[in-house]
């Protein structure tokens, strides 16, 4: 198995890929678009994408990409995020004048950064890429916010560990592949649909799940390009598509939705984790 991810080796997405498939090879990609291209072109068997963070919210670009590409979701990973301040060996806090990291990591460490007068911050494309920058340019007056794995990969020291503002910093990733995996253990389904712009249309759509006691664990709206003020709705259902009540709900929804597509039915991370640990 080869899992494509966005970023440099040591990125949180790579950690999520190895959590999903510990024996897999990983393929770093410069962008989320390239992750999909790597799977589509058979350079990778799977791709992994961060979808939402418990602090920063949804990564909207990846919702759009799920719709643009015909690559089904086959799994998910939930990863605890721990941000650390990484420096070249021997660098002290007093020497640090600039800090590099991904915009979301910077936002998640805002309290810590505000406590550093005279230190500037600069956004980069990737947390691990920031660590690589500090290492390759030999920046003795700079630091990167990244994972402990990035410190190991690039030979940096952890000057300040766990600098994120909140301890419950968790990111949910989705795994895509070229072919859907017909897994009887699937207990989660992701669907996207659009609705006519008329009174009660969203109420009707959600009622097909409520009437069958199907919860919504996530709902996300995204604008439809070329149709101002019209939206796509992405929903996560805690039930597999093979379940009869889920199948009936989707047939019911299709009766009045303008468009509808099942993006994948897969084992939730909770169920997968329990199976691994024997819980």
Could you please report the per-residue DSSP string of 56-111?
Answer: TEE-HHHHHHHHHS---EEEEEEEE---EEEE-TT--GGG--EEEE-HHHHHHTHH
From the number of C-beta atoms within 10 Å of its C-beta (0-12, 13-18, 19+), residue 158 rates as middle
Could you tell me the CA-to-CA distances from 4 to 17, 36, 170, 189, 195 in Å, in that order?
8, 8, 21, 22, 33
Contacts of 228 (CB under 8 A, 6+ apart): none
Task: State the CB neighbour count (10 A cutoff) for residue 247.
Answer: 14
From 173, 193, 209, 233, active-site residue: 173
Distance, in Å, from the CA atom of 196 to the CA atom of 49, rounded to the nearest integer, reads: 30
Quick one: tokens of 150?
């990035």
Task: Say whether 171 is catalytic.
Answer: yes
* CA 255-62-71 angle, 5° bins: 65
From 45, 124, 171, 189, active-site residue: 171
Instruction: Indicate the SS3 state at residue 272.
Output: helix
Task: Say whether 166 is catalytic.
Answer: no
Query: What element of type H or E holds 202?
Result: helix 201-210
Q: Evaluate whether 51 touches 57 at the Cβ level (below 8 Å).
A: no
Residue of 20, 269, 70 whose CA lies nearest to 177: 70
Contacts of 256 (CB under 8 A, 6+ apart): 195, 196, 201, 204, 205
Which residues does the annotation mark as catalytic?
A: 171, 173
């Amino acid at each position: 198995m080869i899992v494509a991810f966005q970023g440099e080796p040591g990125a949180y997405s790579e950690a999520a890929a190895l959590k999903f498939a510990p024996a897999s090879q990983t393929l770093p990609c410069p962008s989320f678009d390239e992750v999909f291209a790597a799977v589509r072109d058979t350079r990778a068997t799977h791709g992994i994408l961060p979808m939402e963070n418990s602090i920063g919210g949804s990564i909207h670009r990846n919702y759009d990409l799920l719709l643009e590409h015909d690559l089904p979701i086959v799994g998910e990973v939930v990863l605890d995020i721990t941000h650390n301040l990484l420096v070249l060996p021997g660098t002290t806090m007093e020497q640090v004048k600039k800090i590099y990291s991904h915009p979301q990591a910077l936002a998640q460490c805002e309290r810590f950064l505000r406590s550093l007068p005279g230190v500037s911050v600069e956004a980069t494309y990737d947390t691990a890429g920031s660590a690589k920058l500090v290492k390759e340019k030999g920046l003795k007056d700079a630091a990167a916010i990244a994972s402990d794995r990035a410190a190991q990969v690039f030979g940096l020291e952890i000057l300040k560990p766990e600098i994120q503002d909140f301890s419950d910093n968790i990111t949910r990733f989705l795994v895509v592949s070229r072919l859907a995996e017909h897994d009887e253990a699937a207990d989660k389904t992701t669907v996207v649909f659009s609705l006519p712009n008329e009174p009660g249309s969203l109420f009707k759509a959600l009622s097909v799940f409520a009437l069958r006691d199907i919860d919504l664990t996530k709902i996300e709206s995204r604008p439809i390009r070329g149709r101002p003020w019209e939206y796509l709705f992405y929903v996560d259902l805690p039930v597999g598509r093979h379940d009869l009540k889920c199948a009936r709900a989707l047939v019911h929804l299709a009766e009045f939705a303008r468009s509808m597509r099942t993006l994948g039915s897969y084992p939730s991370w909770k169920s997968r984790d329990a199976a691994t640990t024997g819980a």
